[in-house]
């Protein structure tokens, strides 16, 4: 029983943490561009980023399979260069988690950045600060509550990801069987004891992350 719980827990945290780090970095950059820049095709970029939020996870997973498969447009290039196929690996699960959780980060962080009073930025520009300095030391710190909220939501989404992960990483015991997939497998096998235990752990993890975040956000004055 311990092994049936331990590996799914470890691989889920590994995937979720890796995905969240990527989402936090890339998501903040995208959010800043959407909030502070006007460019041709901006609405298309916004729609493309948001699309995985409304698509069924299996559709997102299928698109990733088509792109990342050995004969896919991206997968073929990767295979020709490295001889490695990414499908049915934990790295594929990271990509799936990243794609489905990125919209949560972008939407939350974009709103937070847009809420920052631009007078603070103009004052920094007047003092000779470059845009990058102003973004790093003025805009993003003032939007930190929204950034943290988006990061936690993205982490929670990555922890609970099922459909797209199953499509691109499969359910390989000891390799890609995440918590969500293990719960489904245990339920299908009639192992309610294992399923119940995994569900309790997953709920506890999600509740704890949300509670800690709420505590931190409420403790910040700005």
Can you give the pLDDT at residue 16? 95
For residue 106, give both structure tokens.
């972008």
CATH number for position 169: 1.10.3720.10
Domain count of the fold of the chain: 1
Tens-place pLDDT, residues 123-154:
999 989 999 999 999 999 999 999 999 999 99
Flag whether 114 is in a domain.
Answer: no
What is the band of 73 on the pLDDT scale with cuts at 50, 70, 90? confident
Residue 79: the pLDDT is 86
Residue 121 domain flag: no
In this structure, is residue 25 part of a structural domain? yes
Instruction: Please report whether residue 126 resides in a domain.
Output: no
What is the distance, to the nearest Å, from the Cα of residue 7 to the centroid of all Cα atoms in its chain?
21
Give the number of C-alpha atoms closer than 13 A to the C-alpha of residue 97, restricted to the C-beta side.
Answer: 34
Inside any domain, residue 130: no
The rounded mean pLDDT for the chain is: 91
Residue 125 domain-assigned?
Answer: no
CA angle 203, 208, 212 (to 5 degrees): 155
Question: What Cα–Cα distance (Å) separates residue 127 from each residue in 117, 132, 134, 137?
Answer: 17, 14, 10, 13
What domain range includes position 38? 2-108+144-217
Give per-residue pLDDT as tens, 85-104.
Answer: 899 999 999 999 999 999 99
Residue 131 lies in a domain: no
Q: Span 212-217, mean pLDDT? A: 78
pTM equals 0.91
Residue 28 lies in a domain: yes
């Amino acid at each position: 029983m311990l092994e049936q719980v331990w590996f799914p827990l470890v691989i889920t945290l590994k995937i979720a943490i890796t995905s969240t780090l990527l989402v936090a970095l890339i998501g903040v950059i995208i959010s800043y561009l959407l909030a502070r820049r006007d460019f041709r095709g901006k609405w298309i970029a916004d729609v493309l980023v948001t699309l995985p939020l409304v698509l069924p996870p299996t559709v997102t997973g299928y698109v990733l399979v088509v792109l990342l498969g050995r004969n896919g447009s991206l997968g073929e290039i990767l295979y020709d260069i490295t001889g490695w196929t990414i499908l049915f690996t934990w790295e594929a699960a990271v990509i799936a988690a990243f794609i489905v959780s990125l919209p949560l980060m972008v939407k939350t962080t974009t709103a937070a950045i847009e809420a920052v009073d631009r007078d603070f930025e103009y004052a920094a520009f007047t003092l000779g600060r470059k845009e990058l300095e102003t973004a790093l030391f003025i805009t993003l710190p003032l939007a930190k509550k929204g950034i943290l909220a988006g990061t936690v939501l993205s982490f929670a989404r990555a922890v609970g990801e099922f459909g797209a992960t199953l499509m691109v990483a499969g359910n390989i015991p000891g390799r890609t069987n995440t918590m969500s997939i293990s719960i489904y497998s245990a339920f299908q096998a009639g192992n309610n004891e294992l399923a119940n235990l995994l569900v309790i752990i997953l709920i506890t993890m999600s509740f704890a992350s949300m509670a800690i975040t709420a505590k931190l956000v409420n403790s910040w004055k700005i």
